[in-house]
Amino acid sequence: MRKLRRKNQDQAQAIDLTPMLDVVFIMLIFFIVTASFIKVPGVEVAKTEAISGTSRKAAILVAINANNEIWMDKNLVEPDAVKLQLIRLFTENPKGGLVIQADNNANVATVGLVADTAIEIGLTDIAVSTLTE
């Protein structure tokens, strides 16, 4: 009889961690679902200074370096493949906008090509990144 009481006491003193683990997993799923993922372009550029500007969040970053090379998602993209890559990135995050990071020595025609292609696929929130003071 004494052994039965001891087993009941041991079970009463044990802490059940299952509810706490359930809450942690639910929080983990919530944070993963609500996180916004920004894909970095893959190349550093020397940005132009601007007198005025506003800050905004972007989901798609496109970098154009001094050699007029277009970088998206850490990959060099040929001008013919810009539309395909923008469509892929836009379908992954349709609520996000596009930010073009153009180098000081980049050609305006290359920036225009990326912006025109974005407008063509339905991306209307487009901005050019500049230095802030």
Going residue by residue through the chain (133 aa), what tens digit of pLDDT does each one get?
555 556 666 666 777 888 888 999 999 998 888 776 666 666 666 666 655 556 666 678 888 988 989 998 888 999 899 999 999 988 888 877 888 888 888 889 999 999 999 999 988 888 888 775 5
Structure tokens at 116: 């025109």
pLDDT of residue 89: 87
Q: Which residue has the tokens 């305006």?
A: 108
Cβ-in-10-Å burial (0-12, 13-18, 19+) of 6 comes to: exposed
CA atoms of 31 and 27, how far apart (whole Å) = 6
Please name the residues in contact with 57: beta carbons below 8 A apart, sequence gap of 6 or more: 36, 96, 97
At 115 the pLDDT is 92
Q: First and final CA of the chain: distance in angstroms?
A: 80
Fold of 60-128: Nucleotidyltransferase; domain 5 (3.30.420)
